[in-house]
Structure 1
Amino acid sequence: MTGATSPTMQNRCHSCLKETTRDFCPACTKRLFGVKKFNATLDFSLPEIKSNKGSIRRISISGAQPKFSLMVNEGRLEPTENGGTFILKPAVEGLFDNTKDMPANEHLTMQMARQIFKIDAADNALVYLKDGTPAYITKRFDVLPDGNRICQEDFAQVAGLTPGEKGSNYKYDFSYQQIADLMKQYVSTYPTDVEKYFRLILFNYLVCNGDAHVKNFSIYSPNADGVYKLTPAYDLLNTSLHVQELGRTALELFSENSATDDSRDDSGADFETEFFKVNGFYGKPDFMELARRIGIKEIRAERFIAETCSHLREMNAMIDRSYLSEPSKALFKAQVRDRAKALEMR
C-alpha cells in the first residue's frame, strides 16, 4: 500500500505493539487485511471521506465521535457505503481533553484486553489518514467472508430500550445486573459467558472506561443456528483521559428494576453495599455482591478480582510501548493504579 511514512515508533506493530521492521508484523497483516504487507498510512483524508459521492454513511455516533465504513480493496483500505468490513474512528478535535490521543487510547485499551487479560476483543489497529491524523480501526466481527451479516443485537435492543421511550439517556438507564438477567434468558452458554461478562466489567472499571453503556455489550449467533453468545468486546478505552466528569461506571451495578428479588433494601431504595455508603465509589465488596447476584461462585469471583489487579506491571509496559503521548501515558498509569486500589479495598 502506498502513502506517506507513518509517524514515530515504526518499530512497533500498529496492531499488537510488538517489535517489527514494518508498520504491521506479518501475523497481524495477514489476520487483519489478508495480505503480506500493509502501510499504516492510508490513501485518503477525512474531508475526502465526507465528500466522496456526497457523503459516506456513518455507522453510528457515540457522543461526538464519527464512525466510517471501510473495506479492503486490492490490498488497500478505502471508504465504502456497502459491504464494509472495517470501522474507522478518527480523532475528534477540540471537544474533549487529549483528543489526538483518542485513537491510540482505544487501540491500547483493546490490545490490553486481548493480550494481557485474555478477553475476546475485536481485531483492531492504529492507522493514519493521509494528512497524518491518527485514527482507530476495528475489524467487524458481524460480517462473514462472503459479505453476509451475522445476526447481532446489543442489549439496548434486547431490552427494548429506545430514545423514544426512555429519552436521550436511554443507553444509561439500565444496570449491569439487568444485562446479566437478560443474558440468562437469551444466552444458552450463560454459566461460561457470565464469567466473561463479569471479567469485562472488572476490566472496564480498572481501565477507567466510564462509557461502557448498555449498547456496548452485545450477543450474536455466529453459526446462524439461533444459539446466542456474547460478542467479542468492543469500544474499550480509558474515558478519563478525555472526560473527567464521567462517573466511574456508565451503569449502576444494581438497580430497582432488576429481576433479582433482593435488588432493593428494606426501605425500597436502590441497593447499596455498606462499602459504597461509606466511600461513595465501588470497591471489592460491590463486585463480589454483583458476582453473587448473577450466579458466579464466591471463590471464582475472588480469583477474577485478584487476577484483574495483578497485571499492573504488564499494563505499564504496554502503555510505554503504545502510541499515546507521554503525558497521557503517565496519566493512564496513575489512573489504573487508583482503580486497582479501589478493587482491592474491602
Structure 2
Amino acid sequence: MTATATATQAHGAPAPAAPTGTAPASTAPAAAPGTAALDEAVRRDPAGHRVLTGDRPTGPLHLGHYFGTLQNRVRLQGLGAEMFVVIADYQVITDRDIAHRLAEHTENLALDYLATGLDPERATIFPHSAVPALNQLLLPFLSLVSVAELGRNPTVKDEIAHSDQAAVNGLMFTYPVHQAADILFCKANLVPVGQDQLPHLEVARTVARRFNERYPRPDGARVFPQPEALLSAAPLLLGTDGTKMSKSRGNAVPLSADEDTTARLIRGARTDTDRRISYDPAGRPEVSSLVLLAALCQGRPPERIAEEIGDGGAAALKRTVTESVNEHLRPIRARRAELAADRGYIRQVLRAGAERANAVADATLTEVRDVMGSL
C-alpha cells in the first residue's frame, strides 16, 4: 500500500519546551508485513504524510496500548511524519452515561503520551472538545453513511456488548463517523490502528470517497484523502482474564502502575494446567500472551523465552513477565513521574495542541462549506 494524498501543513504556536530529561528510546517492533511501502514513503517524503491517532480518556493506558499502538506512533514520529494525537473526550459518553473524572483522565493520557516518547514539538496533542470545527464536520459526514452501514459495524457491536449503559444512545451509532471526522479534519493519510479498529478506518475511507464524489472541487482535486491503515507487528495482547486487554474490562496492566501493583496484576493472570511452558498462541492463548509480553519487553523471540522457562510452570512464567515488564517500563515511569510534577506544563501542551488543531480544522471546515455551496 502507498499513501494516497499529501497532507496540508498545520499552523499555530509551537508547543512549550519540555521539562529537563529525555523520553526513553523507542524499542518498537518492526512494522507489520504490508506496511514496508508506507514506511519507505514516509522516509522519502515525511512532510507529505500526516498521521492521526488517539484514545478516549476513560482511564490509564495499558500494555496493550503500548505495544499495539504507542510504540508505532513514536516510530512514525521518528521517521518524520506529522503527528496529530486526539484525546477523544467527547467520545467518552458513547458507551457510558457520565464522563467520570474527565479532566483528570485527559491530563493523565497526555502524561502517558509524553512519557512514552511523543514530542509536543513534533506531535499536536489536543482534546477533542477543544476543536469545535472538527465536530461540525460530523453533520455532513453523517449524510454520507446509511443507518444499515452503521448498524453492521463490528466494532460498534462489540462496544455495545460491553457498554456500561442500560440503553444504547444515539451517539454510539455515530461513533464511527465521529472518528472519521477526527481523521479527516486534518486530512490525515496514515492511521496507526489495531486489527480491531480496521472497520472504523474503513468508514473514514468511505466518507472521504463519497464526499469527494458528491462535492467535487472545481479544479478536480479531492478535498479528502483516503487514509491508509498502519498496523503494528505486535499481535493482540490478552488481559489478565484471558480476553482482549481493555480499560473497560478491568483486565489490563496500566503503564502508570507501580512495580508492586504490576506484580500483583500479573500474578492474577489466567494460565492453564500444563506445567511446561510453550509458545502456542492457538492452543494455549493465555500462556502464550504472557510469554509474548515478556518477549516484547526483552526484545527477544517468544519461543526462546518459553524454552528458558521450560518446566518452571506458571509461577516462573509470571515472575519472568513481571521482571521484564517492570524493567522495560522503569524509565517510562520515571519520565512520567517527572512530568506529573508539573501539571501546568501538561496543560500548556494541550493548549498549544488545541491552537494548532483549531487552525487546521477551521481551514478544512471552510473548504467543506465552500464545495458544498454553504459559505
TM-score under structure 2 length normalisation: 0.28
User: Which structure is higher in helix share?
Assistant: 2
Higher RCO, 1 vs 2 (CA within 8 Å, ≥6 residues apart): 2
User: Which structure is higher in strand share?
Assistant: 1
TM-score under structure 1 length normalisation: 0.30
